[in-house]
Amino acid sequence: MNFSIGCDHAGPAYKTIIINHLKERGFSVKNCGTDGPESVDYPDFAHTVANDVSSKDSELGILICGSANGVAMTANKHSAVRAAIAWTPEIAELARTHNDANVICIPARFISEKEAVSIVDSFVDAKFEGGRHARRVNKIACGVLALLLGISTSFFSIAQTSLDYSQTLDSTKLRAHLSILASDEFEGRETGTRGAELSALYLENYYSKLGFQPYNGKSYTQDVPMLNSQIEGGTMDVAGVELNVVEDFLLYPGINKTSTMDMPMVFAGYGISGDGFIEDDYSNINVEGKCVVVLQGDKRNKNTEIETNTTAKREIAESNGAAAFVVVMPNSDYATFKGRMKFYMMRKSTILNRSKEGEGASIPTFFIRESDADVWFNSTKKIKNCSKLNKRADKKGVISTGNLSCNFNYTLDVTREEFIGKNILAYMPGSDENIKDEVLVITSHYDHIGIVDGEINNGADDDGSGTVTVMELARVYMNAFKNGDGPRRSVLFMNVIGEEKGLLGSEWYSDNPVFPLEKTIANLNIDMIGRVDEAHSDDDNYIYLIGSDKLSSELHEISETANSTFTNITLDYTFNAPDDPNRFYYRSDHYNFAKHNIPVIFYFSGVHEDYHAPGDDVEKILFTKTTNIGRLVFHTAWELLNRDDKITVDRVSDFKN
């Protein structure tokens, strides 16, 4: 048996004696403070103990203050807690045998230390008798909840059911799973490694044991074709001049095509065209199947977004049919860019192996210096050199375009290795024939960053915490399902692969959805919910919510109500602002649903000093906090799955896709 014990300034001496006594009896005891004589506020300690008991981190709680009233009142605000005040051993015993109390409150100013110890002993040794007492105890929560909700009795019975199930979300199970998934044996779960494969097996086996049926009749997994590629070297050969990779040219990693021979080339000025632009650098040229060369920046549109947006320029080239893309940079910019790109370019990168599906990845994209481009331009009369091109654009607002007389050749020495990653899917069909084709998707990513410089990154928080929470949600929903309380709509619990490589598993799912996206009502994504960031160092009862109000006002309302009714976590919307520089909205798997206009909520407790580092270990996870957030997800999902009307998309997101 294990205990949590806490007190205010009236109780430290009593607490020490009780802790020692319980330890002598062989029990484990968590001391929640306070330990000194300074005046403190009793609710701070009573809530901690009550949280431990609610989440089943501790079986029983002990609270001490002057009269025992304050701590008892506080603890009893927690719906899973039954706190009793006892000033004699007989009352303590009855609190257990008749009332199934799980917290005992001791009035330090009215009894001796010796009496306190015997009160604790009779509380610990007594057993709940059940029977008629169980019937009465079951009625206690109703009163509390009705007051709490202040709403109609029909909703009330649903709320009672969901509350009952949510209380069975079990922090000890979260800890047990995480101690396995985030152990060194799983080698940091990097996509494409043995650790990720082991994790996939663990998850599949788990969902199968819970009683989930394979979503397609055969399997719990969705194959995600992937490719590891690494550039070992390479050359570019144009107009009789050979350039070397890194030294003379840079490229975007994840390149699909490793060589080309005598590709025709065309100069497209600054590479601007299409809606929203006055200039159209593509108006007089045909770039179909050619290598498009553009200058960086835009002297005609200084200080505009397009001036710095190379990605947008590449997309314009691609949409005009270009087969390759080269950006010409001022020599000094090239040096800086090289310093930044070298590492990313030459490391092993993992991408979706789309060639299998007949889909092309983005076109090969290169960066070179102006001085090298001038050699190319010299071969063509009309184009002149970079400095003249820029000057004319600056003064007159025009830039020449046209075919180049040279051809484009490059060869990259790339090692490639194809493999299959796995998304893990646990699907629960809805109970209502009319709406069971509507699906809620609850996600986490189970991959992490693996072994770096010989050190294992266990990723307990990122995203072990989300993964074990999804597992535990699946278990609780399965219990409800088996009891005939399964949700009306269908729910898909999904642990995805490849998040750390660029949200690959969820991208694949959203491109190849098992259940139609039009019928996917929302995605609740849990990624890192087990730690505390700097901004909340003095209170761990918070969570950042991202996305909840972007597409559906109802989703936001449901989430807020679930929290105010059941969980009372501080909801922090700091990262929900579209101009937040961290851009977390784009950085986890919900994004691949949001971009298809599916309402999402991203649950996230922020970064910490062990983010993507070997110190992200199980010992540092706050399981009570994680459990509470799991309950918030549980209640939000419950409402989304059981309400009559599915939530509507009634807003246009202010996050750009």
Q: Measuring CA to CA, which residue among 110, 128, 125 is closest to residue 21?
A: 125
Is the Cβ of residue 54 or residue 588 nearer to Zn ion in the bound state? 588
Q: Per the structure block, which two tokens stand in for 565? A: 């009714």
Stretch that binds Zn ion, among 8-16, 422-430, 527-535, 561-569 (CB under 5 A): 527-535
Is the Cβ of residue 145 or residue 504 nearer to Zn ion in the bound state? 504
Residues 6+ apart with CB under 8 A from 438: 430, 489, 490, 519, 520, 521, 646
Considering only residues 334-353, where is the footprint of Zn ion by CB under 5 A?
none
Q: How far is the CB of 276 from Zn ion (least distance, A)?
A: 34
Q: Measuring CA to CA, which residue among 230, 239, 243, 232 is closest to residue 334?
A: 243
Distance of CA 590 to the CA centre of its chain: 8
Q: Per the structure block, which two tokens stand in for 62? A: 């002990």
Name the 3-class secondary structure at 268: coil
Encode 128-163: b = buried (16+ Cβ within 10 Å), e = exposed. Answer: beeeeeeeebeeebeeebeebbeeeeeeeeebbebb
Is the Cβ of residue 279 or residue 463 nearer to Zn ion in the bound state? 463
Q: How far is the CB of 349 from Zn ion (least distance, A)?
A: 18
Residue 406 near residue 239 (C-beta atoms within 8 A): yes
Q: How far is the CB of 106 from Zn ion (least distance, A)?
A: 44
Other Cβ atoms closer than 10 A to 194: 13
Q: How far is the CB of 579 from Zn ion (least distance, A)?
A: 22
Q: How far is the CB of 462 from Zn ion (least distance, A)?
A: 4
Q: Using the rule CB under 5 A, is 461 a contact of Zn ion? A: no
Stretch that binds Zn ion, among 236-244, 455-463, 533-541, 605-613 (CB under 5 A): 455-463
Is 142 considered catalytic here? no
Considering only residues 596-615, where is the footprint of Zn ion by CB under 5 A?
none
**Chosen residue from 197, 462, 472, 540 binding Zn ion by CB under 5 A:** 462
Is the Cβ of residue 62 or residue 526 nearer to Zn ion in the bound state? 526
Is the Cβ of residue 422 or residue 448 nearer to Zn ion in the bound state? 448
Stretch that binds Zn ion, among 199-207, 212-220, 521-529, 645-653 (CB under 5 A): 521-529
DSSP category for residue 354: G
Task: Give the integer Cα–Cα distance in Å for 558 and 561.
Answer: 5
Q: Per the structure block, which two tokens stand in for 353? A: 């192996």
Is the Cβ of residue 145 or residue 629 nearer to Zn ion in the bound state? 629
Other Cβ atoms closer than 10 A to 220: 23
Stretch that binds Zn ion, among 27-35, 76-84, 457-465, 648-656 (CB under 5 A): 457-465
- Residue of 98, 133, 536, 596 marked catalytic: 98
- Alpha helix segments (H runs only) across 25-88: 42-54, 69-75
Q: How far is the CB of 460 from Zn ion (least distance, A)?
A: 12
CA count, 13 A, side-chain hemisphere, 66: 7
Is the Cβ of residue 298 or residue 462 nearer to Zn ion in the bound state? 462
Total residues contacting Zn ion by CB under 5 A comes to: 3
Residue 308 near residue 338 (C-beta atoms within 8 A): no
Phi-psi region of 321 (alpha: psi -120 to 50; beta: other; left: phi over 0): left
Considering only residues 463-492, where is the footprint of Zn ion by CB under 5 A?
463
User: At 54, which amino acid appears?
Assistant: S
What's the start-to-end Cα distance of the chain, in Å?
Answer: 52
Q: Measuring CA to CA, which residue among 327, 329, 303, 304 is closest to residue 316?
A: 327
Q: How far is the CB of 500 from Zn ion (least distance, A)?
A: 7
Q: How far is the CB of 471 from Zn ion (least distance, A)?
A: 16
Task: Give the integer Cα–Cα distance in Å for 171 and 561.
Answer: 23
Stretch that binds Zn ion, among 54-62, 218-226, 458-466, 488-496 (CB under 5 A): 458-466
Is the Cβ of residue 408 or residue 604 nearer to Zn ion in the bound state? 604
Stretch that binds Zn ion, among 27-35, 253-261, 313-321, 522-530 (CB under 5 A): 522-530
**Chosen residue from 527, 549, 572, 639 binding Zn ion by CB under 5 A:** 527
Q: How far is the CB of 445 from Zn ion (least distance, A)?
A: 6
- Alpha helix segments (H runs only) across 348-452: 370-378, 386-396
Is 65 considered catalytic here? yes
Task: Give the integer Cα–Cα distance in Å for 282 and 267.
Answer: 9
Q: How far is the CB of 419 from Zn ion (least distance, A)?
A: 21
- Residue of 7, 32, 47, 65 marked catalytic: 65
CA-CA distances (angstroms) from residue 567 to 103, 175, 246, 457, 465? 20, 20, 53, 32, 18
| Element at 239 (helix H, strand E) | none
Is the Cβ of residue 243 or residue 528 nearer to Zn ion in the bound state? 528
Q: Which residue has tokens 């009896």? A: 25
Task: Give the integer Cα–Cα distance in Å for 165 and 473.
Answer: 10
Is the Cβ of residue 487 or residue 530 nearer to Zn ion in the bound state? 530
Query: Would you say the C-alpha torsion 34, 38, 42, 47 has a positive or negative sign?
Result: negative
Is the Cβ of residue 248 or residue 507 nearer to Zn ion in the bound state? 507
Q: How far is the CB of 282 from Zn ion (least distance, A)?
A: 39
Q: Measuring CA to CA, which residue among 611, 445, 635 is closest to residue 531?
A: 611
Catalytic residues: 65, 98
Residues that bind Zn ion (CB under 5 A): 462-463, 527
